[in-house]
């Protein structure tokens, strides 16, 4: 009797001869053998459509429209790109080429950097490979044999990777004359690639280590359809226009200077005012929710960082200094000082929960290659809070934070998604404490009826966390808010409270930020609004301008009335044409232009032009101020 496998598909169990492929089953079940199905999932493991099946279990097909299917498509496209590169530039050595969130990249060791013209050549060759419908063939061989295979090709990076693989067998994938070390799975053939684009060039160190060779990274993306690709490229173009670094210069918000140092932001007057407005908003919102303000020092003794576990688990991102022969760590986080506030006296259960809030400036040693405007810096300020509560209060506190974040995201017009990040490989604390903390976060999300995904192994080293990722006007995802549940640091720092039974017990600590790093949030905000901030946030809310110098005295009176009312107002009394003044105000994205000519001066009124509109409306100053107040109050 021939061996067989029992496959569960579409709610049915079917028996097939062992060695049947998912593609055979696809056809047998009347599922159209279109290029929408790119792979299959058997017993939770993704496999090629051409894989001979030798085990029973549930089989599900992976559509290119799914997240997994899109990842497979993009990773396969990266292999096609590497094939095209090696055919065009035979001296190039290949390294790694993964799929990433918005596409894929491949790193190459090349004698000379690629140029934009090279990208056009590579794309052209890729199109030829796609038309050839070359099958992706999986090849399984002993690891030592694979090492020999790549040694013959002088692919030293692949040999280095193989040297670190413990498995006795490895898989390779080949299409045409190109072969790469890869786990797979892949699309059946190159013809499944419908729409792709190489997007940019960058430098990257091998394995991210500055001591290793600098490689040439080629980025690209692929989509199931040309319409999807067209939409994505449109978003990319719009993103260039919204780039906060570009708008930061044009709106005179901030700068980063090589003379000062990379990753260190210099705030100009308008940017500092914008930051002040955000920080004042934060202070008001925290006071409304029962937080107390605290401030910790910038440096704390190294002993404390050793005790907390930061020295063992985080020191590569920390700066250290020595004062009077004593070693100090410059704080990358604010939690240690907040625990010292808690420990400053004996605490009763009646005081809990205690919510300590600080707009705390921290420094982290980010690698120069990842620094990016306001989005990745070395010095930044967090809207950091630590809540110390009883285990019984934990659920309500987590729910309260999620609601806080929800309210704030609504004010700024952000959608968001949530992830529950679990214990990483490098961590401190007992299994029991991690289980308690993870369960607490999960229960709060379930009680809220919130949708969330599990992000395995991405928690903080001291506890699991809820990551809240906001989506901006271009539907791009940004990590800002986070909620971390921590049973470990209260134990290490012997934090206690006296319970109702007179016994000393251990509180739970929640680490949380709402906006996250102020710098990063402002970078996201600039791009979200394309620099056109809502009235309540605009550094300059109105600009008063005159048609001729004759109206200047009246314009100054109007300016003083607006200032007295609290309007952040600029004045343009230059001897320039009004059209020129209007164009400049538009470029600065100021919400209101207050235009004054002879008619307004004689009637004691003003002419108002709103941002984005071409018409003006005449009105008394008081009418404008009422309209202004209502818009500010609504935060519209």
Catalytic residues: 335, 364, 382, 384, 386, 465, 511
> Cα–Cα–Cα angle for 597, 581, 533, nearest 5°?
110
DSSP label of 317: G
Calpha distance 293→287 (Å, rounded): 8
CA distances from 252 to 163, 569, 587 (A): 52, 16, 11
| 551 touches 604 (CB < 8 A) | no
> Cα–Cα–Cα angle for 342, 347, 350, nearest 5°?
120
| 216 touches 110 (CB < 8 A) | yes
109 forms bridges with which residues in the sheet? 93
Q: CB atoms < 10 A from the CB of 50, how many?
A: 19
List the beta strands (DSSP E) in 135-245.
137-142, 169-175, 178-181, 195-205, 214-223
| 81 touches 222 (CB < 8 A) | no
Calpha distance 190→132 (Å, rounded): 7
Residues with Cβ within 8 Å of 49's Cβ and at least 6 positions away in sequence, in order, are 21, 22, 23, 26, 37, 38, 39, 40, 188
Calpha distance 54→255 (Å, rounded): 61
Residue ranges of alpha helices (H) inside 535-597 are 552-565, 578-587
Across 141-156, b (16+ Cβ under 10 Å) vs e yields: eeeeebbebbeeeebe
Q: Which of 628, 338, 319 lies closest to 493, judged by CA?
A: 338
Q: Which two tokens stand for residue 473?
A: 């006007």
CA 132, chain centre distance (Å): 37
Residues with Cβ within 8 Å of 344's Cβ and at least 6 positions away in sequence, in order, are none
| 397 touches 334 (CB < 8 A) | no
Calpha distance 300→237 (Å, rounded): 45
Helix (H) or strand (E) holding 233: helix 226-242
137 prior amide bond cis, ω within 30: no
Q: Which two tokens stand for residue 418?
A: 């949530």
CA distances from 124 to 81, 188, 340 (A): 10, 21, 62
| 329 touches 299 (CB < 8 A) | yes
Q: Which two tokens stand for residue 630?
A: 């209502």
Q: Which of 556, 539, 415 lies closest to 475, judged by CA?
A: 415
């Amino acid at each position: 009797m021939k061996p067989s496998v029992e496959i569960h598909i579409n709610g049915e169990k079917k028996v097939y001869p062992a060695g049947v492929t998912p593609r055979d089953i696809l056809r047998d079940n009347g599922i159209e053998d279109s290029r929408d199905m790119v792979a299959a999932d058997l017993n939770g493991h993704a496999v090629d459509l051409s894989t001979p099946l030798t085990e029973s279990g549930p089989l599900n097909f992976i559509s290119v429209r799914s997240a997994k299917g899109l990842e497979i498509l993009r990773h396969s496209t990266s292999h096609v790109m590497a094939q095209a590169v090696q055919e065009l530039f035979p001296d190039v050595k290949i390294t790694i080429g993964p799929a990433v969130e918005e596409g894929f990249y491949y790193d190459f060791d090349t004698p000379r950097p690629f140029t934009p013209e090279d990208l056009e050549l590579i794309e052209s060759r890729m199109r030829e490979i796609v038309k050839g419908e070359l099958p992706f063939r999986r090849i399984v061989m002993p690891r030592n044999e694979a090492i020999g295979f790549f040694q013959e090709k002088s692919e030293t990076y692949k040999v280095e990777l193989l040297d670190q693989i413990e498995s006795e067998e490895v898989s390779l994938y080949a299409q045409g004359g190109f072969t790469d070390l890869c786990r797979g799975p892949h699309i059946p053939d190159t013809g499944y690639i419908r729409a792709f684009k190489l997007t940019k060039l960058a430098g990257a160190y091998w394995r991210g280590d500055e001591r290793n060779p600098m490689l040439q990274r080629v980025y690209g993306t692929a989509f199931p359809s040309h319409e999807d690709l067209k939409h994505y490229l449109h978003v990319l173009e719009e993103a260039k226009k919204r780039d906060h670094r570009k708008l930061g210069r044009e709106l005179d918000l901030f700068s980063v200077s090589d003379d000062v140092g990379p990753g260190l932001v210099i705030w100009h007057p308008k940017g500092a005012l914008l930051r002040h407005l955000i920080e004042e908003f934060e202070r008001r919102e925290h006071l409304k929710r029962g937080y107390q303000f605290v401030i910790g020092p910038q440096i704390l003794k190294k002993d404390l960082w050793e005790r907390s576990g930061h020295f063992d688990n985080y020191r590569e991102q920390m700066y250290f200094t020595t004062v009077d022969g004593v070693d100090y760590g410059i704080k990358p986080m604010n939690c240690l000082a907040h625990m010292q506030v808690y420990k400053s006296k004996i605490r009763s259960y009646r005081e809990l929960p205690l919510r300590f809030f600080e707009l705390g400036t921290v420094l982290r040693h980010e690698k120069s290659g990842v620094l990016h405007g306001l989005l990745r810096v070395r010095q930044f300020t967090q809207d950091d809070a630590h809540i110390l509560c009883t285990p019984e209060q934990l659920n309500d506190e987590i729910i309260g934070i999620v609601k806080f974040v929800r309210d704030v995201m609504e004010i700024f017009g952000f959608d968001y998604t949530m992830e529950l990040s679990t214990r990483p490989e490098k961590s401190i604390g007992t299994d029991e404490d991690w289980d308690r903390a993870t369960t607490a976060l999960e229960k709060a999300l379930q009680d809220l009826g919130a949708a969330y995904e599990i992000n395995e192994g991405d928690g903080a080293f001291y506890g699991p966390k809820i990551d809240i990722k906001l989506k901006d006007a271009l539907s791009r995802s940004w990590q800002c808010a986070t909620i971390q549940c921590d049973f470990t640091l209260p134990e290490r720092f012997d934090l206690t409270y006296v319970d109702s039974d007179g016994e000393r017990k251990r509180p739970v600590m929640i680490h949380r930020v709402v906006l996250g790093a102020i710098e990063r949030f402002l970078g996201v905000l600039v791009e979200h609004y394309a620099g056109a901030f809502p009235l309540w946030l605009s550094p300059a809310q109105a600009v008063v301008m005159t048609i001729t110098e004759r109206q200047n005295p009246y314009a100054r009176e109007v300016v003083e009335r607006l200032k007295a009312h609290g309007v952040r107002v600029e004045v343009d009394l230059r001897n320039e044409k009004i059209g020129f003044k209007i164009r400049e105000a538009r470029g600065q994205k100021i919400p209101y232009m207050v235009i004054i000519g002879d008619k307004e001066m004689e009637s004691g009124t003003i002419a108002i032009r709103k941002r984005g509109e071409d018409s003006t409306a005449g009105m008394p100053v008081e009418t404008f101020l009422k309209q202004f107040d209502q818009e500010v109050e609504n935060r519209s």
